[in-house]
Structures are given as structure tokens and as C-alpha cells.
Chain A
Amino acid sequence: MDLFEYQGKELLRKFEVPVPEGRVAETPEDAAEAAKGLGGKVVVKAQVQVGGRGKAGGIKLANSPEEAQQVANDILGMDIKGHVVKRVLVERAGDIKAEYYFSFLLDRSARKFLGMMSAKGGVDIEEVAETDPDAIARVHIDPLAGISDFHARRLVFGSRIDEAARKEAIAMIPKLYRAFVELDASLVEINPMVLTGEGRVMALDAKVSLDDSAAFRHPNFDDLKAAHDIPEQERFAKERGLNFIKLEGDVGIIGNGAGLVMSTLDVVKAAGGDPANFLDVGGGAGAELLASAIEVITSNPEVKSVLVNIFGGITRCDLVAEGILSALEKLDVKVPIVVRLDGTNAEQGRKMLADAPHPMLMSAETMLGAAEKAVELAHGGGR
């Protein structure tokens, strides 16, 4: 789960990481009230999970509570790259002398944690990595041994940040490390980390991603999640234990196993179609789950055809067939469904489908044949 900036900062504060004083507001009036409490001059920041909100007009300065109200009024409800702003973070504004970049993440190749710091902050770090790789200091940390002070020193001296910022940055890095590890984060990114006019070092922004698999040991996880808008189709899928991601095309996809579903999307694309979604029913899916999967897919009005691609291992193809038939019975399915079954009990499943002819149901022998058929049907042919 990617947290909103204000959520990330709240968590970091618990680890004594210095962040600007601020409050969240959902209405312009709340924003004015927050500004009053913070002493007038504030920054009003749109809380959206997308880069470039500053350029889009989602971050504005306000010199008074009245101005804060006005600015919040402009920002709330704004659409930034498809993300509607529902909350603003109102923070005390201060002088910024310099901006740096800092992050902790898991380096998959090295099987270690990676700390990165750069004196070039406030910009896209991937771009810095491309154009000026030497501007980024990198230090690996052994997850078993943990952080030592020299790691922080190497990052700070290696990134050549201002001398005035060194001491506080060196003190802040182990706190960020503790937050990264104890929160079960996959990313803690501070961009920018700033040196203020008063000589303080602070996290001016915070991007924190938490590992969903570790939710069981973080009692606040659900509360954090509740602040996130999940589209209706995704929520429906998730509640039923389906792994669903919406895409932009018109061929609905259902499969079992992440790799096979990804491969199915690719094969549909290669056949000239555009997948409408990724949907993995997982291992050992029963009839009910399959019926839910069809319900999720066909609730998308963009979908013109559906491809069900199952290779039964733990999943039994007879149960898959049963689920498809019950969905057809229960729902008013208006788009053709192409089914390809192989593996455990495939013959039985195919026979069940053949014995229950339905105008919207067709079978295919192979994965490639099924993909071609589904694409043809989505394009209005093949019926």
C-alpha cells in the first residue's frame, strides 16, 4: 500500500523524524482553521498519489488563514492526472536553503537494503541516475546486521550535501532506517529532505509504501487503508479474494496463476486485442469464485468479450465449468465468453460446457486459439 504524504509523515513522526508541523483538511474552512493554528503562513498540499502535483497546481503558498481557505478551495476537488483531491495537508511554511534526496528500499539483486542520498533533491531521482549517476551516494545495509553510524556518514559525506546539514542528516538516517524496518515498508523516500533557513534538516515530503503481506502485525494498517479510494469493481473483486487490476482494453481476462494470466494478456495483445484487466483467481478456485470472476469482468461496460484461460493444477476444471455455467444462469451475460481448459479434470469440464449450450459460451482447444477467438469476438466478428 502506498501511503498518502500526510500518513507517511504521521508515521515518521513516531520515529522522531523531523517533519514540518501540519494538519490535514478536507474542507476550505478546516484549512483556514489549520492555518490559524500554525501561525498564518502555510503551504497547502494536495494529497494525491501521483507525481508532478506541484506543476499541476496542487501545491500553493498562503500568507494568511483567509488565503489558505481560498487556496484549499481551489485545490480540493481538483483532478490531478485522474486523481481527485479529497484532502489537503496544511503545513507551516519556512525558508528552504537546499533540497536533497533520500531513500531506503529493498535491493532485490543484492538481497540487501539500499540507502540512497543525493544533493540533487526535489527532482526525479531516476533522471538523476541517468544523467548524473555520481551525484547519488548508495550504501547497502545487511538486513541481519542492521544499520551502523558509518552507513549514515557514508551517505551524507558521499552525497556532498551542505556542511550545515551534515550533523542533523547523520542523526536522522538511523531514524529513517528504524521506520523503514519496523513499519515493514518497501520504500521510504524523502524527496526533498531540506535544510531550512534556521539550519534544521527535515522531511519536506514523504513517500512511504507498506508491505501488504505484513499487515497482520500492524494494527493500524486497516485505518491507513480506509483513507484510500478503491474503485467499486476492484473492491468487489478484492472482497471475493480475486486478484484484479483494471486495464484499458475490451477483452476481459480470467486465468489462474499470476504468470499464466500475464502470459494470457500478452497473447491477447499479440493477437491484435487489448486486455481489459488482469484477473487471477488463484490456486484451487471453486465454482463460486469463478462465477464472481465473471461477474466482476462483465460489470465493466467496456468489455466486448471474455477469455477464460485455465490450466488446472490444484484448480479443478470441472469446478471452473460449474462456475461459468452458474454465472451464465445467474447473470444476464451479453458478451461472448471463450473458455479454454487444460490440466486437472479438463475433459470433464469441457464436456460439462458442451452439454449446456449457451449462445454466449464457446470453447477453444488451445490458449492461442482461445486468445484469437476472443479478440475476433471483441472486434465484432466470428459469431
Chain B
Amino acid sequence: MAILIDEETKLVVQGLTGREGSFHAMRNRDYGTNLVAGVTPGKGGSDVQGVPVFDTVAEAVQETGANTSMVFVPARFAADAVMESYDAGVDVIVAITENIPAMDMARTVPYIRNSDRDVTLIGPNCPGLISPGKANVGIIPGEICSQGPVGLVSRSGTLTYQIIHELTQRGIGQSTCVGIGGDPIPGSDFIDILSKFEQDPETEVVVFVGEIGGDAEERAAAWADDNMSKPIVSYIAGFTAPPGKRMGHAGAIISGSKGTAQAKAEALEAVGIKVGRNPTEVAELVVDVRKAS
């Protein structure tokens, strides 16, 4: 088992004919992901390295049975692409695109979340997700991952790679690693992913990587206290970030006195979640938790 993506995943890539889109889609296919289709309006009927391209996601789904989509289209068209995927009936939408206007996501995220269908949007502005040994949808380097009991959820990309790398170096594999992205309104938040890990039999420990901005970490801490039986180890980035500055990610900003790393770490520790001081310590804490259980 794993969460969201596995051997059953049939992937359609929106923006497959673009440079970035084809590069990463092919890497995902090389990893073993079942890449079934691409979508580029006006290029239907062509193919990219044997992968059929359709004009619309609806057609791609109808013809190939795709159940997961990855969005690699430019920011100004990305929210539309996400909604198109939703309307075409896929179950998981992974939006890699960065710099989508906040107003677009303010409408797109509730459009998906408020529906009565069970559809998961991961991202935008994210590295995607990987279930090691099963499927990789996004840009996480597959070679640093290994299969195992740790479920990982993070707002960051490379920081996540660093932690995965430290875990793998210590012989600890992962069930699924999910990058939920660095935007102010992500399609899925920590709680959504934590609840999936709680239900996933393969996941034994959860690593949770947050950063400054908003209160998603605080809310997740409170939720986990009531709802998680599995141990959690966490990390928060941005203790040295000054207020009012956007630290790379659109969502990584301390507004007034709200959203500091300190407040987040305290909220996590208050419910008994260990917070590593650096990525290396996070991996060491996971080792300790594994020994203790």
C-alpha cells in the first residue's frame, strides 16, 4: 500500500508536449509510472515518445482510462487546466506549476474540495509525490527514495529531498512522499495527507515538514493530537526568516506576528510531536521512534 499513487495509477500529463512537461513525464515513466496520455489543445492525434496526445483531458480519460493527472502548463493557464482535469473525472490532480495567481487558486481549490466527488488536488507550486517502487508523479528524484514505512508530507521540494536522502542513508524507506507545495492555498493541506497516512497500513511513522506562513502546521498539530495513532516527527523551516518578507514560496511569509516557525514548533511540541532542529536530526528522531516501537 501507499497513498494516492501506486501501481494502479494511470497518468495523463497536461502540457506533455512542452520541454519541462515531456522531460519530467518521461522520467516518471522511466521510474515505472504508467504514463498513458498527454494533453495539449490543438495537438491531439500526435504522440510524444509513443504516448498519445489528446486535445482535451476528457478525451484522454475516455480513451485511456487515466485516473491521475499532472499539470505542467504555464501559470496563467494552470488553474483552468486543474479544473479541466477535475471535470474530466480523474481522482488525483498534481499541479507542479509555480506562480499561479492566488485569486485563481482561491476559486479552484474550493471548486474541487466542495464537490461531492472524492478528488485530491496536490499542489500547486509543488514537487509532486512518489510512492517508492510503485509510481512517481512529479519531479522528486526517484533514486534518492527507497520503499519502506515512513510517510512524508512537506510544503517544500529540495528540503524534502534532503530529508528523504537522510532517511534512505540510514536504511529507512518511505511509503509515500507528498509535496503539498508552497502556496498560500494548497489543494491538500497537512491534515488531508496525515489522515491518509493514518489509514495506510504500510505507513508506520509520519514525517511532517512545515515552514513559516499561515497556520496549517498549528491546525495539523491540534488535529493530529485527536486523530493520529501513528508517531509523527516534524521539522519547521524559517526560524531566522524576518517578518514581512516572502521567503521564496508565495505562502512563506510571516504576516505581522503570525506564522512564525517558533509558534509552529511550540504548537507541535505542545501535543507531543518531536521537532528536529535540522534535517539530519529529523532522520535521527525517526530512527529513535522506530527503535522505540
> 8 Å CB contacts to A: which residues of B139-166?
139-141, 144, 154-162, 165
Q: Which of A111, A217, A245, A257 contacts B157 (CB 8 A)?
A: A257
Q: Evaluate contact between B252 and A108: CB separation under 8 angstroms.
A: no
A111, A245, A278, A368: the one contacting B110 at CB < 8 Å is A111
Which residue of the partner chain A has the closest CB to B103? Answer: A184
Contacts A313-B139, A343-B141; A111 near B159 (Cβ below 8 A): no
Question: Assuming A106-B184, A259-B160, is B101 touching A213 (CB within 8 A)?
Answer: yes
Stretch at the interface among B87-95, B200-208, B275-283: B275-283
A313 close to B141 (CB less than 8 A): yes
CA gap between A144 and B106 in the complex, in Å:
8
Asked if B106 and A213 sit within 8 Å, CB to CB, the answer is: no
Listed by A's residue number, 14 A-B pairs whose Cβ atoms lie within 8 Å are A108-B215, A111-B113, A111-B185, A143-B106, A213-B75, A217-B76, A255-B158, A259-B159, A261-B248, A283-B139, A311-B161, A313-B127, A367-B162, A368-B278
Number of A-B pairs, beta carbon distance below 8 Å: 166
> When chains A and B are docked, how far (Å) is the Cα of A256 from the Cα of B141?
14
Q: Which residues of A contact B230 (CB under 8 A)?
A: none
B residues in contact with A144, CB < 8 Å: 107, 110-111, 114
Which residues of A are found within 8 Å of B159, using beta-carbon distances? 257, 259-260, 262-263
State whether A270 and B278 are in contact (beta carbons under 8 Å apart), knowing that A260-B159, A311-B158 are contacts in the complex: yes
In Å, the complex CA distance between A214 and B75 comes to 9
CA distance A267 to B248 in the complex (A): 18
| Contact present for A258 and B109 (CB under 8 Å) | no
Q: Does B242 touch A at the CB level, under 8 Å?
A: yes
Contact of B247 with A by CB under 8 A? yes
The answer for the CA separation of A356 and B239 in the assembled complex, in Å, is 36
Q: How many residues of B contact A (CB 8 A)?
A: 62
Chain A interface, DSSP helix/strand/loop, else mixed: mixed
B interface majority secondary structure:
loop
A residues apposed to B, CB below 8 Å: 106, 108-109, 111-113, 126, 142-144, 181, 184, 186, 211-214, 216-217, 243, 245, 247, 255-263, 265-270, 275, 278, 280, 283, 311-314, 342-344, 366-368
Looking at the assembled complex, report how far the CB atom of A24 sits from the nearest CB atom of chain B, in whole angstroms: 25
Interface residue? B29 (CB, 8 A): no
B51 contacts partner chain A, Cβ-Cβ < 8 Å: no
With CB as the reference atom, state the residue of chain B lying closest to A315.
B158
Across the interface, do B102 and A263 meet the contact criterion of CB distance under 8 Å?
A: no
Determine if B129 is an interface residue (Cβ-Cβ < 8 Å): no
The interface residues of chain A lying within 8 Å CB-to-CB of B114 are 144
Given contacts A111-B110, A366-B280, contact A243 B248 (CB under 8 A): yes
Residues on the B chain within 8 Å of A342, using CB:
162, 165
Q: Which residues from chain B contact A263 at a C-beta distance below 8 Å?
A: 159, 162, 235, 237, 278-279
Alpha-carbon separation in the docked complex, A344 to B158 (Å): 12
Give 1 or 0 for each of B238-256: 1 = CB within 8 Å of chain A CB. Answer: 1111100101111110001
Contact A216-B76, Cβ < 8 Å, known A143-B106, A211-B102, A311-B158: yes
Does B185 lie within 8 Å of A106, measured CB to CB? yes
Q: Which 9 A-B pairs give the minimum distances between C-beta atoms?
A: A259-B156, A258-B248, A257-B158, A259-B159, A214-B101, A262-B237, A260-B158, A143-B106, A213-B99
Proximity string of chain B (182-214) to chain A, C-beta cutoff 8 Å, 1 when within and 0 when not: 101100000000000000000000000101111
Known: A106-B184, A275-B240. A343 touches B161 (CB 8 A): yes
- Complex partner residue of A262 from B102, B113, B241, CB under 8 angstroms: B241
Inter-chain CA distance A142–B111, complex, in Å, is: 10
Q: Which among A112, A126, A213 is the interface contact of B257 at CB below 8 angstroms?
A: A126
CB nearest to A129 among chain B residues? B256
Chain A nearest CB, measured from B121 CB (Å): 12
Of A143, A216, A261, the most chain B CB neighbours within 10 A belong to A143
Expressed in whole angstroms, the minimum distance between the Cβ of A124 and any Cβ of chain B is 9
A122 to B161, CA, bound (A): 46
CB 8 Å contact bits of B252-293 with A (1 = contact, 0 = none): 100011000100000000000000011110000000000000
CB neighbours of B157 from chain A (8 A): 257, 259-260, 283, 313
Complex: A374 Cα to B111 Cα, angstroms: 48
- Who on chain A is nearest to B101 by CB? A214
**What residue of chain A has the Cβ atom nearest to residue B143's Cβ?**
A344
CB contacts (< 8 Å) of A275 on chain B: these are 240
- Find out whether the CB atom of A106 lies under 8 angstroms from the CB atom of B257: no
Cβ–Cβ < 8 Å partners of B58 in chain A: none
CA distance A44 to B177 in the complex (A): 56
Least Cβ distance of A146 to chain B in Å? 10
Q: Given contacts A109-B215, A258-B247, A265-B240, are A311 and B162 in contact (CB under 8 A)?
A: yes
Choose from A108, A259, A260 the contact partner of B184 (Cβ within 8 Å).
A108
B244 CB, nearest partner CB in chain A, Å = 9
- Find chain A residues with CB under 8 A from B247 CB: 245, 258, 261-262, 278
